[in-house]
A = this chain, B = another copy of it.
């Protein structure tokens, strides 16, 4: 029988996938209200009108449900960033960077609990399965692509990094996927930029900027622009 992996859908498989999706959606809604620790499998089942034990036919454990939400979150963030960056003139490096930074922050502000799920404290017993590593690197790959283009077009950090450590060993394959190579020094600076971007967002989201920074939008834009200049990307390029 012709059952290609993409569309077998034996009628029962379809309703199963549908219900699986509905459970995940309901769980995501609960997550947005009560946070990860407040996510109750029973409450999800209750809202869907099914017995709590029935949910276990679809997700073997609460952690499995969380894994799905984590993957979805990574993909949601990745898609939004990719879509936004795709609409920018690829030679306008400054704009591309600002777009990625803004998209990430906007997504985080719109989905704080999902952001916390992927960039906050890891859930206690949870161990990320290998499937998550690919979606997790989507925005990272976007940044890497930008950095590679920047270096290719002659950008270089205004402050020499002077690195002594081999920082990029396991990053080779990531660069290979992006299709470019980046010099160690430039990559080193980019990792700092990466950490700073998510440090800023986490600080804002997790309350560290409360009573410290007030004009958050403008502040972030300024910081983003400054960060770009730290990797040699200047405006009006």
Contacts and interface: CB of A to CB of B under 8 A. Distances in A.
Is the interface on chain A under 10, 10 to 19, 20 to 34, or 35 or more residues? Answer: 35 or more
B206 A122 contact: yes
A34 to B, nearest CB: 6
A189 interface: yes
A159 B159 contact: yes
A172 to B, nearest CB: 11
Interface in A165-184: 165-171, 174
Count of identical protomers in the assembly = 2
A159 B158 contact: yes
Nearest to A167: B219
Interface in A200-225: 200, 202-203, 206-208, 211-215, 218-219, 221-223, 225
A128 B198 CA distance: 23
Contacts of A169: 214
A116 B37 CA distance: 15
A60 interface: no
B206 A124 contact: no
A133 B191 contact: no
A120 interface: yes
A70 to B, nearest CB: 12
Nearest to A37: B37
A188 interface: yes
A60 to B, nearest CB: 20
Given A120-B120, A167-B218, 15 more contacts: A36-B121, A37-B124, A38-B124, A119-B206, A121-B206, A122-B207, A128-B207, A165-B215, A165-B219, A167-B215, A169-B214, A170-B212, A198-B202, A198-B208, A202-B202
Q: Identify the 8 closest CB pairs spanning chains A and B, nearest first.
A: A199-B199, A165-B218, A120-B121, A195-B199, A35-B124, A196-B196, A116-B121, A195-B200
30 contacts: A34-B124, A36-B124, A121-B206, A122-B206, A122-B207, A158-B159, A159-B159, A159-B226, A159-B229, A162-B222, A162-B226, A163-B222, A165-B218, A165-B221, A167-B213, A167-B215, A167-B219, A170-B211, A171-B212, A188-B222, A188-B223, A188-B226, A191-B212, A191-B223, A192-B223, A192-B226, A195-B200, A195-B223, A196-B196, A230-B230
